[in-house]
Structure 1
Amino acid sequence: MSDPHLLRQGAEEIAAPFPALLVEAEHLATTVLLGEHGRRRAGLGDDFWQYRPALPFDEARMIDWRRSGRADTAFVREREWQIAQSVILWVDQSASMSFGSRTDGPTKGHRAKVLALAAAVLMLRAGERVGLTGLRLPPRSGEGQLLRMAALLSEDHDVDYGAPEAGGMLPHSRALFVSDFLGDIAPVEAALTKAADRGVRGALLQVLDPQEEAFPFEGRTIFESMSGSLRHETLKARDLKDRYLARLAERKDRLDTLARRTGWQFSTHHTGDSGAAALLWIHGAMERRS
């Protein structure tokens, strides 16, 4: 398990050279100052939008006690401006992300977490509200949100491949998904389709290890998933190279096509490359108007 404070430190080091990230600056200015945006027309951004069930991280002052008094569950009242400034992150924490071909280099999972937290640092500095998908951590601003996010991202899951969650994505908010996207693509397609239906736009960042791009294997080789549940042995690994690279290229093309069809952006980052370069791409992708 990664130390959340070390993850935060690494994230801030990568984020330091860049200006504060403004997600859809023109859209937010219109929303907050003029009260106009794509999903409905409001006043100056203070109009009520919806109630949602309170979660463990919600403070007592955020609970609407009048609404909660009519049910057995506590509810939080959310307003227009809070939704307009919300960015939801999904970071793959599956076993597949724990792969790293170099002992002196980062695993895919560590790089993904650092990049996601670095992006969160930029967005929070810009006044955005950032959270995690699946209602694990509702979008919020403030210093404490980074610590809560780092703690949750420090957890690792024992499933072979991760699947993004569409839950918790507020209408017309923004989202960032970070994964190797090597598992079943159906959940990715379902999540982006659901996001598009809600007017959510964002970016997919695929994080791969250099070995996964080069496939430098020859002779007798045993391929095993990081969880140990999948295993394949071959005497002629080199014979698999062309088919493997073709399937990897096909997966990238499918992700890129899916992103374009749903109004998202897609890119691939390698753990052997600069983390700052990947963050710069996120910066640009999250600023683009859909």
Structure 2
Amino acid sequence: MSEAALRPTGLRRRAEELAAALPPLLVAAEHLAAAVQLGEHGRRRAGMGDEFWQFRPAHAGDEARMIDWRRSARADVHFVREKEWQAAQSVQIWLDDARSMEFTGAKDRPTKGDRARLLALALSVLMIRAGERVGLADASAPPRPGEVQLMRLAQTFTAPPGEADFGAPVARAFLPHARAVFLSDFLGDPAPVEAALTEAADRGVKGALVQILDPVEEAFPFDGRTIFESMAGSLTYETRKAGDLRDRYLQRIAERKDRLDRLARATGWLFLCHHTGDSPQSALLWLYRALERVR
């Protein structure tokens, strides 16, 4: 870091630049998380812990010390006092920061990257406030609990996009038996995605693939002379009859979605295709429930 950046004026400018991007995303994520009325966190189940969860009738094999004699005195059967399972789980997120994620087909719709960032941070809010550890799939932000970790994640999610046209997940930092979420358009080479999921599955990691697409990418409403250019500008294709490409394009996008779905099922993951024109609340609710299902 330069000396100028360390001076009071430089520090203030950098702080203001960070503050300009950070609060809106964090506020939006917290608002979205609050809108998802999930009640008690789904991890509530019997196990080691300090908080009372429920009474249940005693079964053969239960130790005498487990019986709650005061509750049992009010009935004709013995009751066991169960406590809540409190072993925190780790959730690791890969958020595609490639240039393709900065596409939107309409000015009144968010980019795919904006929707992915919102979902990633809102999910982090839900998980961390339920006592879980959340981090990134690479080694830059290991899973940790607490509000400070939320700020770290928000900073990471608001960083400028990368230079590549399409992103590829990294699975080298996955913790054994953690849960994971990949958020991307998955329009690049599928081989790195398959390799990452295979490696994750070998470590006992299960999770959810969320493909985020703009409605334009599903409808292909182009006709006549059209120039297609990647967001990074490295790929360009010009045609005078774009309409002739529609059927082949729609077939390819359907094949890609089916390939991702089959890959997810083969590795014990779940798959969702979410459109930026749809409510983020429904996608967040699906994500939350998906992580409970893949325990």
TM-score, normalised by the number of residues in structure 1 = 0.79
Q: Where does structure 1 lack aligned partners over 5 or more consecutive residues?
A: 34-80
Matched with 1:10 is 28
* Secondary structure of residue in 2 paired with 1:88: strand
Q: Structure 1 residues 151 and 232 mapped into 2: Cα distance closer, same or farther (>3 Å)? A: same
Matched with 2:242 is 237
Give the Cα separation in 2 of the matches to 1:117 and 1:21: 20
Aligned pairs for 1:65-144 (under 5 A) are 85-144=89-148
| Pairwise CA distance, 1:9 | 1.3
Give the Cα separation in 2 of the matches to 1:8 and 1:21: 22
Runs of 4+ that moved beyond 3 A:
20-26, 29-33
Q: Structure 1 residues 219 and 12 mapped into 2: Cα distance closer, same or farther (>3 Å)? A: same
Residue 200 of structure 1, aligned match among 193, 196, 205: 205
User: Are the aligned partners of 2:111 and 2:276 in contact in 1 as well (CA < 8 Å)?
Assistant: yes
User: Are the aligned partners of 1:20 and 1:125 in contact in 2 as well (CA < 8 Å)?
Assistant: no
| Pairwise CA distance, 1:31 | 7.1
Give the Cα separation in 2 of the matches to 1:88 and 1:158: 23
Give the Cα separation in 2 of the matches to 1:275 and 1:248: 22
User: Are the aligned partners of 2:268 and 2:294 in contact in 1 as well (CA < 8 Å)?
Assistant: no
Aligned pairs for 1:170-181 (under 5 A) are 170-181=175-186
* Secondary structure of residue in 1 paired with 2:35: coil
User: Are the aligned partners of 2:181 and 2:209 in contact in 1 as well (CA < 8 Å)?
Assistant: yes
- 1:168 alignment partner AA: A
Matched with 1:256 is 261
| Pairwise CA distance, 1:21 | 7.6
Matched with 2:163 is 158
User: Are the aligned partners of 1:20 and 1:122 in contact in 2 as well (CA < 8 Å)?
Assistant: no
User: Are the aligned partners of 1:25 and 1:287 in contact in 2 as well (CA < 8 Å)?
Assistant: no
> Which protein has greater RCO, CA pairs closer than 8 Å, 6+ apart?
1
Matched with 1:74 is none
Give the Cα separation in 2 of the matches to 1:24 and 1:172: 15
- 1:91 alignment partner AA: L
Give the Cα separation in 2 of the matches to 1:20 and 1:108: 29
| Pairwise CA distance, 1:172 | 0.5
Give the Cα separation in 2 of the matches to 1:22 and 1:254: 32
* Secondary structure of residue in 1 paired with 2:91: strand
Give the Cα separation in 1 of the matches to 2:44 and 2:268: 17
Give the Cα separation in 2 of the matches to 1:23 and 1:92: 27
User: Are the aligned partners of 1:177 and 1:204 in contact in 2 as well (CA < 8 Å)?
Assistant: yes
User: Are the aligned partners of 1:20 and 1:123 in contact in 2 as well (CA < 8 Å)?
Assistant: no
| Pairwise CA distance, 1:4 | 2.3
Percent of residue pairs identical: 58
**How many pairs align?**
240
User: Are the aligned partners of 1:21 and 1:122 in contact in 2 as well (CA < 8 Å)?
Assistant: no
Give the Cα separation in 2 of the matches to 1:104 and 1:194: 39
Aligned pairs for 1:31-46 (under 5 A) are none
Matched with 2:219 is 214
| Pairwise CA distance, 1:22 | 4.2
Deviation readout 1:202-253 (Å, 9 max, x if unpaired): 0000000010000000000000000001000000000000000000000000
User: Are the aligned partners of 2:95 and 2:120 in contact in 1 as well (CA < 8 Å)?
Assistant: yes
User: Which structure has the larger Rg?
Assistant: 2
Give the Cα separation in 2 of the matches to 1:201 and 1:31: 23
* Secondary structure of residue in 2 paired with 1:9: helix
* Secondary structure of residue in 1 paired with 2:142: strand
Give the Cα separation in 2 of the matches to 1:31 and 1:206: 37
